[in-house]
Structure 1
Amino acid sequence: MPDYSYENNAALKGYEYVCGVDEAGRGPLAGPVCAAAVILPEGTVIEGLDDSKKLSEKKRELLFDVIKEKATAFGIAFASVEEIEEFNILGATYLAMTRAVEQLGVKPDYVLIDGNRFPPQIKTDGECVIKGDAKSMSIAAASILAKVTRDRLLLEYAEKYPQYGFEKHKGYGTKLHVEAIKEFGITEIHRPSFLKKLL
């Protein structure tokens, strides 16, 4: 379960506003990548907060509102399919993460990034935390905001493109999705570079 050990270590070094950053949607064949940044008040208790991948959709939706209510600040941002194609998925993820941090109403002085690469555009002090959404409360909170925001967008796409089943797979390369692409072709929200091996 995530805790505040990373945030507390940063606080001991004199950092006041520590933010956690995570993304959702690096792997799908369709849709943008979404990132969120969250600063939680020191020691905030959020019941049931865990890595978003371990939680049900209903639980994530409930936590989404609780996190936004309790956070000192949060930011949520996207990098588009066009940006994924132009800068590759890693570059686009950096963009989304940087934008999310820039959207924070409070400027962080230390940034915890989920994963093993720190976006070069973020000039604030910080560190990477591998599997951070299972270790750090603020990264876990960011993972919920990013996942729920992106999933909600994919539900809108499901209405626009009903034959693709986006409400079921959220753009990931499931058998259902791959079969729909082969039958109906690609849409403007599909990532051409991710489809080269399929088509």
Structure 2
Amino acid sequence: MGRGAWAGPVTVCAAITGLRRPPEGLTDSKLLTIKRRTELAAVLRKWVTSYALGHASPEEIDDLGMTAALRLAAGRALDALPVRPDAVILDGKHDYLGAPWRVRTVIKGDQSCVAVAAASVIAKVQRDKMMAELGIDHADFGFADNAGYPSPVHKTALAERGPTPYHRLSWAYLDALPQWRHLKKVRSCTDGSVPEIEGQLGFDF
């Protein structure tokens, strides 16, 4: 989660599920209200067989690029699992994980695979909580509401105050801010784009 945000980490959740009936209403986290998503995440943490979270910091995103940062975060989530899964289901069409894992990509997997949907909900709730905590000392940026994504409040604060220590300084938004453009970092990605890949892992075996 958070791959398109201007601030904060990218977060990956690895979730292993059994054969039990999933909680009612489980789907892509982005299709749920904040209240329902938060309630469902609490249920899912007990429902899944196991789960683990991995993060890559804004500095790591700037240094490595988004694809490598996602791989790093996913590796951290995998390493934190109590068991090693037989296979990995990644949401989207890109395999950013690679060997030695046996990977299957599923477009819109968070709407069709319970493991990926569970990972999606847990990851988003956790990252949103992290961003709200990071925003305590930077209230003008509205991180508690926008989670580091480019909302009007976020854009206004950024133009007036410049980036916080939690901003990704390789992102293209700095190109439109002449007074802060000198802070931009050169990314290792050659095209400077954000790959269209999801920031969740689902495991189902």
Give the TM-score taking structure 1 as reference length.
0.84
Answering whether residue 69 of structure 2 is matched by residue 92 of structure 1, we say yes
The amino acid of 2:93's aligned partner reads N
Q: Which moved more, 1:30-39 or 1:127-136?
A: 127-136
Give 1:33 shift.
Answer: 0.3
Distance 1:178 1:79 in 2: 23
Q: Deviations over 1:29-68 (max 9, x none)?
A: 0000000010111143211111000001111111111111
Q: Which one of 77, 82, 85 corresponds to residue 105 of structure 1?
A: 82
Between stretches 154-163 and 113-122, larger displacement belongs to: 113-122
Partner residue of 1:75 out of 33, 36, 52? 52
> In the alignment, is the contact (CA less than 8 A) between 2:74 and 2:97 conserved in 1?
no
With 137-146 and 97-106 compared, the bigger mean Cα shift is at 97-106
Q: Return the offset for 1:122.
A: 5.0
Within 2, Cα distance between the matches of 1:26 and 1:167? Answer: 17
Letter in 1 for 2:83: V
Q: Give the percent of matched residue pairs that are identical in Structure 1 and Structure 2.
A: 38
Find out whether 1:34 has 2:11 as its counterpart.
yes
Deviation beyond 6 Å, 4+ runs, structure 1: none
**Alignment-derived partner of residue 169 in structure 1:** 146
Tell me the distance in 1 between the aligned counterparts of 2:176 and 2:160. 12
Residue 24 of structure 2 corresponds to residue 47 of structure 1: yes
2:19 aligned counterpart, secondary structure: coil
Matched, 1:59 2:39: no
CA RMSD of aligned residues (A): 1.3
Report the Cα offset of residue 78 of structure 1.
Answer: 0.4
Q: 2:114 maps to what in 1?
A: 137
Q: CA deviation at 1:120?
A: 3.8
Matched, 1:25 2:2: yes
- Structure 1 distance, partners of 2:83, 2:40, is 21
AA partner of residue 113 (structure 1)? L
- The TM-score normalised by the length of structure 2 is 0.82
* CA distance, structure 2, for counterparts of residue 192 and residue 25 of structure 1: 15
| Greater shift in the superposed pair: 186-195 or 24-33 | 186-195
Q: Which has the higher contact order (CA 8 A, sep 6+)?
A: 2
1:120–1:138 Cα change, 3 Å: closer
Matched residue SS, 2:176: coil
In structure 2, the gaps of 5 or more residues are 178-205
* Contact 1:97 1:119 (C-alpha < 8 Å) held by counterparts: no
Give the SS at the match of 2:30.
helix
The 1-side partners of 2:43 and 2:18 are apart by 13
Using the alignment, how far apart are the partners of 2:52 and 2:141 within structure 1?
Answer: 30
